[in-house]
Structure 1
Amino acid sequence: MTTLTTAVVYLLGLLFSVVVFSVHGLGAGATTVSVSYGSDVTICGIVAGQPSQRIQCWRNSQVFDVYSDISFESIAGGRDLFCGVRSGGSSLVCWNPNLIPKRLYYNETVLLSKLVIGDTQICAITNSTGLNVNCWRDREEFSTLNARIRSISSGLGFNCGAPSNNTDGIICFGTNSELASSIQGEFTNFRMLNIAVGGNHACGVNSTGILICRGENNFGQIDVPNHLPFEFSTLALGLNHSCALRRLNNTVICWGGGGGNMSDYETGISFESIVAGLDFTCGLTTNNLSVICWGEGWVRNGSFPLGFELPLRRILPGPCVRSVCDCGSYTQSDTLCSGSGTICKPCDIASLVPPSPPLLPPPSGAGNVPRSSPSRPLRRGLLAFAIVGSIGTFAGICTIIYCWWTGVCCGNKKIHNSVQPTITGANNNGPQFSNSSPVSRSSTIRRQASRVFGRQRSGTSSKHADREEEFTFADLALATDNFSHQNKIGAGSFGVVYRGKLIDGREVAIKRGETSQKAKKFQEKESAFDSELAFLSRLHHKHLVRLVGYCEEREEKLLVYEYMKNGALYDHLHDKKNVEKDSSLLNSWKMRIKIALDAARGIEYLHNYAVPPIIHRDIKSSNILLDANWVARVSDFGLSLMGPESESEHRPTKAAGTVGYIDPEYYGLNVVTAKSDVYGLGVVMLELLTGKRAIFKSNDDGNGGTPITLVDYAVPAIISGELTNVLDKRVRPPEVNEAEAVELMAYTAKHCVNLEGRERPTMSDIVANLERALSLCDDSHDSISSGQISIISE
C-alpha cells in the first residue's frame, strides 16, 4: 500500500469513527424511541410505513399521535418532556406533559444532530465549524460549547462528550460543575470512542474496544461484566443502572439497579436500539419493530410484566434519510420509509476503529485482543470505504452543480404569486391533520388568473418584492400550538384567526377556514378565501395588511398574514378594558385622525391605483388593524370585488357586509360602487369621534334602551353645530387647533354617510381633508378657512 493510500485510509478511519456507536444516557439520546418520566411515563416512537415519519406515544395505557403530518428523524425524552428533531435537522421541537409544543431551535444552515436529554437538560451537536454543542434547560437555551465532539450524552445536571480529534479524555460540563469535573477527571488517561451518561456515572468504549464505567457505584452501576473487546455497541444508562447491546446478536445485558429485575437482566431478545428511563429500560425489537420495557421501575410503576409489548405501531429502526448509506441499508427501507428515504445500518465497530498512526503493526502481546489491531480485513474494509468515499465525493460535486443550476439550494421556497382558496373555521372536534394533496384544478385556474391581474400601477404602494409562500398544514399547526384557544385572536370573513410563530421566528396571523360540512354549503365562504388570495397576492401598500402566504391541503384552507401587534381598532374603541381616560395611545385626537387617514389612504389605493380597481365591501373598525408602530392597515378582503373602471359605472351584486356599515343604497338596490366603501369609512370616522359602536343601545350602560345607529346619533349633532356633545369623553377636550381638525373630520364623515352615493366624496377628497386635519393638529395658528376643504360629490 502506498504512502498516499495509507494516509487516505487513515483519514477515512478517523472520519467514520464518529458514527461508531449509539449511546443513550439518562432520558435517552436521539433515536427513534424515547422515554419520558416524571408525572407520567410516556414512551414515544417514530412510526414506520407512513408518508410522514410522525410520532406516536403511549401513556397510561392510551396511544395517541403527535403532529401526524410532520416528519421527525429522531426523538429523545427526559423529565416531563420529550423533544424531536425534524427531518433534515433544521429545527427542534419539545412538548411538555400537556403536549403543548415549543420550538427551541430553527436554522436551515446550521443543522442539529445527536440530540440528548438528561432530566430537564437538552443538548444537541450542530454541524457548524467546530461542531458546537447547544444546550437548553427547562426549554430555554442556557449555554453553547464550542468544541469538536463526536458524541454527547446528558445526565443529572451535567453532560459529557467524546472528542472528535482522537485525543485522550472526555469533555464534561453543565450546571453540576463539581460532578462534571469529577467524571471528566476519571477518564483523563483513556482515548474514548464514545461516552454515555447516567445519573451520577458514565460509561464508554475506549480505542481498544473495552467498556469503561466511572462515577458513583452505590447500586453496582459501574461494575462492568466481563466481555470481549468491541463486544458492546449501543449503551443506555439510567439513574442507577446501565445496559448495553451486544454487537454480534443484539441481545441486551444490564447491571446495577440494586438487584431485582434490573441486575444482570438478559432478555434473550434481539434489539435494534435501547433507551433508558430513570429506573427502567425499553428496547425496539428486531423481530417486529415493537417496543418492550423492563426493570424495577417498570414493574413497580406500570404494573406491567417483563416483555410486555406496547400497543404502538411498528417503529422505525433509524431515521429515513435521502443520502447514500456508508455501511448499507435495511432491506425493507423503502417500505419502512414509505418511499421517502433510506434507513442506514450502523457501521461495524470493529472495522471502523481508527488505526494507530500510521498503520503500525500491532504491538507484541496483543493477541488477547484480536480485533484491536489493524488486520488485513481491516485494511480491505478501509480501502473499500476509500472507494465509496471517492464515489460519494463525485456525487456531491454533481449535486452542487445541480443545485447551482436549478437554484434549489439557494434558500428558494415554494412560492405562489396569485390566488388561493377560502378558509373555513376550525371544527368543534379540534384540528384534524390532513395529508398533503396534489394541486387541485381550481388552484391551477387561480394561478392562471393571477397572471391577468399581475399588472399594478405604482401609485402610492410601497416597494415589495416578496411573493407569497406556500406552507404545509403541519407548519401552521406547529406555529399556532395546534390552533390552541390561547392563540385565537379573532375571526375574519371566512374563518378564525390565530396568532402564530413560524419555524423561522416570524410572527404571523393565520386565518383558518371552516371545515365543517355545514360551512361547505355556503358558497360565499368558499369564494372569500379565493378573494383574499386573489387580491392580496397582487396588492402591496403600507396601509394594507400584507399576505405572507397560504396553505391549501384538501379540506384545509389557511391564509398567513403579517402580525399586527396592536390588534383591531374596534377593540381599542369598544373593549370594556379601555374605559379609563388616557388608557390607550388612541385617546388623543391627533392619533385618531391619523388612523382615519391611514385607512383612507389604503382604500384610496384600492379604488384609484389597483388595476383593475377593487371595492372592499366590508370597511369597518374591526377590519382596520394597527401594527407595532400604530400604523393603521386595512384587512380582510374576503368580500372584495373587482370594481368598474370608472365611478360612473355600477355593478349589480347581492348586498354583503356588516350591519351598521353597509351602504343603504347598496343594500336597497343591490348595486355596488366605490362609494359603498366611502360610507363604511364614514361610519368608522364617526366611531373615532364618538367612541360609540356602529349600532348601540340608547342607554349608556348598554343594558337597556332602543338600538340606534351611529349615523342617526352623530350626524344631527354635526349638522346643528353641537359636535362637542357627542365626542368621546375618554379623550380630553380638543384644544383650539385640534378643535378645528376634529370639526373637519366630522364634516367629512357627515358627507361620507349621505344616503345617495353620488352625494358622497371620493376617497381622494377624503384623504385630502384628513391630511389637512392632521396638519391642523400641529399648527395652532392655522384655521379651516386658510386651507382648502375637498368635499366634492358626484
Structure 2
Amino acid sequence: MTTLPLFSFLLLIFTFIQTWVVNHALGMSSTLAVIHATGTVCGIMATVLPQSVSNSVVCYRGGDRVLRAAPSNVSFSGISGGNNTFCGIVSGGSPILCWDTAGANLSDNFAFRRLSKDRIFRSLSVGEGEVCGLGFAGVVECWRGGGSVVAQFASITAGDRFMCGILSSGFRVRCWGSSGIGGEIEAQFSNLTMSSLVAGGSHACGFRRTDGALICRGRNESGQLNVPPGASESQFSSLALGSDHSCATRSSNGTVVCWGGGSNSSLVLDYPSDEPFLTIVAGGSITCGLTRANFSVICWGSEYFRQPKILPLPLLIPGPCTSVQCPCELYLNSQRLCSGNQRICEPCSNHSPPPLFPPPPPQPPPPPTTNQTPTKNNGILSRGLLAFAIIGSVGAFISICTLIYHVWTGKCFRQKKVHNSVQPTVAAAEPPSRSSSTGMRRQGSRAMRRQRSGTSSSKHGGCDHRAEDFLLAELEAATDGFSPANKIGAGSFGAVYKGKLPDGREVAIKRGDTTQARRFQEKESAFRSELSFLSRLHHKHLVSLVGFCEEQEERLLVYEYMHNGALYDHLHTRQEPASPVHSWKMRIKMLLDAARGIEYLHTYAVPPIIHRDVKSSNILLDKSWTARVSDLGLSLRGPDGEGGYLNMAAAGTVGYMDPEYYGLQQLTTKSDVYGLGVVILEVLTGKRAVYRDGNGEVGVGGGEPSSVVDVAVPRIMAGEVGAVLDARVEAPVMGEAEAVELVALMAVQCVRPEGRDRPTMTNIVANLDRAFNLCTSTMTSHGSISFSLPSE
C-alpha cells in the first residue's frame, strides 16, 4: 500500500530537480525566452508587480515596446522560444500554449493557441519549427514537425529542425527530427554519457557525466565548438547556444563568456563581461541574461541588439514557481514573486548545502575514571546526552507554561456562554419550549448569566467577548415597538431595525420573520447559524454581535450599528455626489476591507467558514467608512482540507451566486470568491449585479435583464477598462489608473466559471492591497510601462 505513494514522491522530487537544470539553449524551457527572427524577448512576470495578479508572460519588441501575451491571468512555470514562435507550460504542467510573434502588429498583444490540454509536462523545448514536451514519465510528445521518438528521457533540447535528449537509462544522447544534423550529433556523442545537454543551430553542448567536462559536438563553421581549455561543470554552470555561437556563465561569479559567432563574432562577443547573471538564453545570434542584481534582462549579439541593452521589461521571476520543498535554498522573498503560496528554489551548487544549525563547539573529553578509558564514542555520547537533557528541559518548561495558561484561561471559559462548538444544521436545531413556565425560568436565571451593564459585549475586557441575552421587552423599547420608521433593512431571516439601548448604545436589531408564511425551522436555522458563528468571531471587518433574544417563537440578534449603511445603497440608490464612496481610492479601500473580512472566515476561523451570500448589501460601512461583512445566516462550516467541497442545494442571491455551485451543487470557498468578484464589478461599473436598462446606465429601467458579469468582463478583456467605469466617479489618473486596471483584472479572475481557476481570498487581499497602495502614492511604481488587456 505504501509503494505507490513513495514512488510518486520520489518521482516528484526527481522531476523537480530535472526541471531546475540551469543549462539553456535555443529551445529549453526557462523563465526567459528569445524569439530571434522577430527580435522578441519574453519572460514570466513576478506577481509582486501591480500589473500582474499571476505569473503571466510579458514580451519586449524592438523600439521599447512591451506587450503582454494572452491570457494575462494565467500563471506559467516555463517558456521556450524558437524562430517566430514561443510556447509556455501553464503552472501545474498543463496545458501548453503557443504564440506566433511574426503576425503581431505593433499595437497587438500576442494571441495564443493551445497545443495540449490532456497531458502533464515537466519541461518544454521549442526549436526552429518543432515543439516538444517532456512528460513526468519521461515520454516525449512533439508537434509542428518535431517528429516522434519512442524512449524515456531525463531531459530534452531543441535545435534547428532537430531534437536531442538524454536517455533516462544509460544517459546516452539520442537525437531525431527532419534535419540530418541530429544524426551527426548523436553519432559524435555515441560513446559518452552526459549529465546535461543543450542544442544550438547545428551543434550541442553539455557536461560529461564521468568527469564534468564541457563537451561540444556538431558542426563548427563559426567556431561554436571551440570550448575554452579546461572548461568543466565546476567552472561553468548555465549554457546558452545560438545558431553559430555558444555562451556559458561562470560558476564562481555568474559572469558570462562566449565563443564562436563567425562573421557575427564582433556582435556575439560584445557581451557584458562584468555583469553576473542567474541564467542566460540564446536564439539565432541573440543572447540574453537575467541579472543577479535585480532580475533585469540584458541582451546582445544581433542587429536588434548591436550593443548590450537593458530591456524595459517589468520584474521577472528567476526560476519556476513551485509548491515542492526546495532541495537546497530558497530565493530571498521568492514567495512574493509567485502566485498562490508557491516559492522559487535556488539551483543546488556542486557543494553540499550548509547545515540548518551550526555544529556545536568541541567539548573537552570527560576525565578518565578508574573503570573506563575515555574514547571518541564516549565524548559523542556525552554531548548527545547533554543535548537531550537541554531539549527535554525546554520541553518540560513549555509544557508547564502551557498547563498554567490553560488553568488560568479555563476560568474565563467556564464563566461565559459559548456558541462556537457546534455547526448549526436544520436537523440539529431544536425548537424552543413553548411553555410559559420554561420562559419564566429562563428570565429568572438571566441575571446570573450576564452582566447587565453591557460593557462585556463591546469590549474585550477580562475574559473573551460574550453575547448578551436580552429580554424581548428591552428590544421592543429600543426600537419603539419595532416601528416601521426604525426599519433599516432586511437580513437572511428577517427585518433589521435601528435601536437605542438604555445605556446609550446604538444597535441594529434583526428580528426573525414572524409571518405565517415563514417556516419556524428556517428562521431557527438562520438564527442558530449567526449566533454560533458570530459569538466566536471577532474581526475589525466583520459586523460584531452584541447579543440575542430567545422568547417563545421570537428570535432576535443584536449587532453594532453601522452608521453609513450598506455599500449597495451608496452604489445604486443614494444620490450623494459628495459621498466618500465616489472616489476610486475609497472604493478600493472598501473592497480591501470586505476581502479581509472574508479572508478571515476562510483562512483564520477554526473551523473555516463559507459565507454563501457575499453581496454589496451585506457589506456595511461604519462611522469611519470602514467596510464590514455582515449576515452569516446562510453561512456554513467549510470542508476539511484544500480542494474539498460540500454537496448541498444552492442558496444565495441571484446575480451573485457561483454558477458552479448552482449547477453542480458543490459549495467551496471559491463560491464566496465569485460573489466578491461580482461586488468588485459593481464597484467598478456602478451597475447592479442584474439590472434592466436599455441605455446601459445605472438604474432599473426597461429592456432585457443584463448581468454585470456578462457586460463588463468582455470589455475588460478587450482592454476597454475605461469604457465600463462608473461615470459618477472622476476618471482615474496616475496611480489610480493602474490600481483600477489591476482591480478589473482580478475581478475577471474571480468570476471565472470554474472555481479552480479563481484566486484565493488571500491572493485577492494581496492584490487589493497593492491597488490601494498605488492610489495612495503620488506616482506609480512602474509608470513607464503601460499594458492593455488581451482578448482571449
After TM superposition, the score normalised by the length of structure 1 is 0.44
After TM superposition, the score normalised by the length of structure 2 is 0.44
